A and B are shown apart, each in its own frame.
Chain A
Amino acid sequence: MAFAEADLQTVVGRRFPGGSYTVSPWRAWLLADTVLAEPPSLQDDGEQPAHPLFAWMAATGAMGITWDELFAWFGATAADGPVFGEHETTLHRPLRVGATYRVTGGIESAERKVGRRTGVFDVVGYAMDLHDTDLHDTDLHDTDLHGGGAPVARCWNSIVFPRRDA
């Protein structure tokens, strides 16, 4: 059965389970090297900024559901061809190598549109906030992740679902 425009609005406001993400030094080194940036020193015990792409890494890595599960919220599968539309990273403070971030977020908007060439499609906006836990991977315990924590960063994304059967 086709995913109706009315169904779309029932998903707005739904929250992701969320989770936590640690910018481990090994991850920080490998990501920087992979994205062709200067890796942080593994010999330096002092505070080092992490590559800003870690906002995306943490947000998607600790969303708490898989992409397939997210697609299913909108009656879609990967085979329907959902694509990323836009992305916005906002960093209130720099991300830090070794820090653990608590990730929260959910669906913020959903709108059905009709394109002359593309036909019917839905644009879904979702966002995730990264909260500083003031923890490092060496002293992390599950119970430490329940605090509020000031937002460090926000990742907003839009994803486009083609609706060929609408």
Chain B
Amino acid sequence: MSTPTVEVGTELPPYDVPSVSAEKMKTMAALLSDPTPIHWDVATLRALGMGDRPVNQGPLNMGYVMNAVTAWAGGPQSLRRLRVRFLGTVLAGQSLRVRATVTALREEDGVRLADCDVVLEVEGGDPAVSGTATVVLP
């Protein structure tokens, strides 16, 4: 990142997930010890009338947003705060884009911080997650 160019209104590079993977959801379910079958069992989805595409876990959707802002700010250690609302579901196979815009620049305890508005959009533009993030600038 070229820090001198950062100013209020700066748009972060878009972060894309070309196709949400059902296989990753299975690993995430194991890591979370989450027994909810809508994330990995198509038979359950069909029985519930929810189609045949597993539903991505909310933490994964939030993780993509974290990736977007920390990739820009210099790494996973740069995230200071993330506040989000879960607005909609993300299904296997959908493409996603995280967009973020700098809303404030400030200094706290000698550390330069950037506040950003963030949104995770599902193909077509519907927001699945939106909120604000604060990252430490290098």
Q: What residues make up the interface of A, taking CB atoms closer than 8 Å to B?
A: 27, 30-31, 33-37, 49-53, 56-57, 60-61, 83-91, 94
B47 on interface, CB distance cutoff 8 Å? no
Known: A30-B31, A34-B27, A53-B66. A85 touches B86 (CB 8 A): yes
B48 on interface, CB distance cutoff 8 Å? no
Give the number of A-B contacts (CB < 8 Å). Answer: 83
Flag if A89 contacts B82 (CB, 8 Å): yes
Flag if A37 contacts B84 (CB, 8 Å): no
Residue of A nearest to B29 (CB): A34
Cross-chain contact of A88 among B33, B59, B75, B81 (Cβ < 8 A): B81
CA–CA, A111 and B42, complex, Å: 36
CA–CA, A57 and B62, complex, Å: 12
B57-78: CB near A (< 8 Å → 1, else 0) gives 0111011101100100001110
Q: List, in ascending order, chain B residues with CB within 8 A of A34's CB.
A: 24, 27-28, 31, 60
The 8 closest A-B CB pairs, nearest first, are A35-B63, A94-B77, A49-B77, A88-B83, A52-B79, A53-B63, A34-B27, A49-B76
Flag if B67 contacts A87 (CB, 8 Å): no
Q: List, in ascending order, chain B residues with CB within 8 A of A37's CB.
A: 63, 66-67, 76
Cross-chain contact of A53 among B59, B75, B83 (Cβ < 8 A): B59
B106 on interface, CB distance cutoff 8 Å? no
Known: A31-B31, A36-B17, A94-B76. A56 touches B85 (CB 8 A): no
Known: A34-B24, A34-B28, A34-B60. A84 touches B67 (CB 8 A): no
Q: List, in ascending order, chain B residues with CB within 8 A of A52's CB.
A: 66, 70, 76, 79, 82
Q: List, in ascending order, chain A residues with CB within 8 A of B17's CB.
A: 36
Flag if A49 contacts B75 (CB, 8 Å): yes
Flag if B62 contacts A87 (CB, 8 Å): yes
Flag if A50 contacts B76 (CB, 8 Å): yes
Q: How far is the CB of B90 from chain A (nearest CB, A)?
A: 13
CA–CA, A83 and B64, complex, Å: 20
Q: List, in ascending order, chain A residues with CB within 8 A of B79's CB.
A: 52, 89, 91
Given A33-B27, A56-B62, A90-B81, 6 other A-B contacts at CB below 8 A?
A31-B31, A35-B67, A36-B64, A37-B67, A53-B66, A87-B82
Q: List, in ascending order, chain B residues with CB within 8 A of A88's CB.
A: 81-84
